[in-house]
Amino acid sequence: MMIQAKKLTVTVFVGLWMVSSACRPIDEIRARFGLGGTHHQPLPKQMDREMKSAAEPEKAMSAGELAKANSELLSEMMKVVFNEKEIDDRSNFGTLVHTLNEGASLEGIYRGLVMGSRYRGIEAKSKAASPETLKVFAYEMAQIQSDMKSPTEFTKDARKAPSIEYPDGIADTPAELPDSQEVKPKLDQKQVRENLIHLFIGASPYTLKRVLAEEAMKKMDEVKDSTGEMAQWYAKTTLRLISTHVDFGLAQRNLADFDFHFKFAQNMAEDRVRWEVLNRYHRLMNAVMNSGVIRVSDYFLNSGV
C-alpha cells in the first residue's frame, strides 16, 4: 500500500522480533488434490483499488488511506504467516499498524513476525512437514536458486531459526559476498531438489516456509538495483505460481497476465513488491500444508521431484 515513494529503505526494527506450469491443471485436478479453489474472499476496498490501478502513475495517499491500507496488509500478513483464518494475536496488532504508519517497512514487520517468539514456538512444536509439502518446498527453492548469483548452500543447520544479533535499532540487508569468493558450478535442478529433500526431511513446514521466503528475499536483493530486472523476475515468478491455482487472496493477484504483473512491479514501491512475493510463497505452502492429501497436483508431479 505504501506507494508514496518509488523505493523504500528496507528497515528492520529489532524490537519487533519479540512480538509458493507446467501442465495447465484443470478444476478437476485442483479439487482432487485440494490446492486452491474457485472462490475468492471479498476484496478489501483499498487493496482492490490499488491492484486495479497498478499500471497507472502513482498517486499520493492520504493519511487515512495509508492507515487503512497498512491495517489491511498487516491483517493479511499475520493470517498468512501464522496460517490462520483470523488473527490470534491481537495484542500487538495495533502497535504494528502504528509502526507501519510511522514508516516501518513491510519486510521489517515480516521479519519481526517470523523471528518472534510466537513463530519460533509454532516452528518448534509443529510435526515434520508432509512429503508433498517437502516436495513443493524443494521445487520452489530450486526455481529461486536457478538464476541466483549466490544461492545459499544449505546444511542441516538451516532447520534451526537463526540467532538474532542486530545492532541497536535496525539491521540492514546482509553484506555482499566478497568478489574473491570461489564460484562453484551450479548443479542441475533435479540434483538441487534431491539435496534439499535430503537436508530438510523432518523439518517443520513452518521452517520450510521461513527458509523459502528468506531465499526469495535474497534473490530480490540481487536485483533490487534494477527496476526492470526486478519486474521481470517478479512477473515470471508470479505467472509460474499462478499456474498452481492456489488462491493468492485477490482476483488481480490470480490474473495470468505477464504485462499486468510486470507493470505492477515497476510502479509499486520495492517494499510492497517484496511482500507480494512473500505472500505468494506463504500462501502456496499453506495450501499444501492444509490440503491433507498424499499427492499434489500434476504441476508438481511433473517437476520430477
Nearest to 301 by CA among 286, 282, 288: 288
pLDDT greater than 80 at residue 58: no
Grid coordinates given for 50: 490499488
In-domain check, residue 195: yes
DSSP codes joined into one string, 252-267: TTT---HHHHHHHHHH
pLDDT of residue 44: 53
Alpha carbon distance 260, 251 (integer Å): 12
Each residue's pLDDT tens digit, 23-51: 333 343 334 334 444 333 344 555 556 56
pLDDT of residue 88: 77
In-domain check, residue 24: yes
In-domain check, residue 1: no
pLDDT of residue 138: 93
Domain range for residue 292?
A: 12-301
Nearest to 83 by CA among 145, 133, 39: 133
Query: Which residues touch 32 (CB under 8 Å, ≥6 apart)?
Result: none
pLDDT of residue 139: 92
pLDDT of residue 89: 72
Nearest to 44 by CA among 252, 189, 231: 252
Q: Tell me which of 22 and 130 has the higher pLDDT.
A: 130
Each residue's pLDDT tens digit, 73-130: 999 999 999 999 888 777 788 889 899 999 999 999 999 999 999 999 999 999 999 8
pLDDT of residue 300: 55
Whole-number average pLDDT of the chain: 76
pLDDT of residue 227: 93
pLDDT of residue 129: 93
In-domain check, residue 274: yes
pLDDT of residue 115: 93
In-domain check, residue 2: no
Alpha carbon distance 281, 137 (integer Å): 9
pLDDT confidence tier of residue 156, bands split at 50, 70 and 90:
confident
The reported pTM is: 0.73
Domain count, the chain: 1
pLDDT confidence tier of residue 62, bands split at 50, 70 and 90:
confident
Mean pLDDT of 202-210: 95
Mean pLDDT of 275-280: 97
In-domain check, residue 6: no
pLDDT confidence tier of residue 67, bands split at 50, 70 and 90:
confident
pLDDT of residue 189: 81
Each residue's pLDDT tens digit, 222-259: 999 999 999 999 999 999 999 888 899 999 999 999 99
Q: Tell me which of 12 and 142 has the higher pLDDT.
A: 142
Q: Tell me which of 21 and 192 has the higher pLDDT.
A: 192
pLDDT confidence tier of residue 161, bands split at 50, 70 and 90:
low
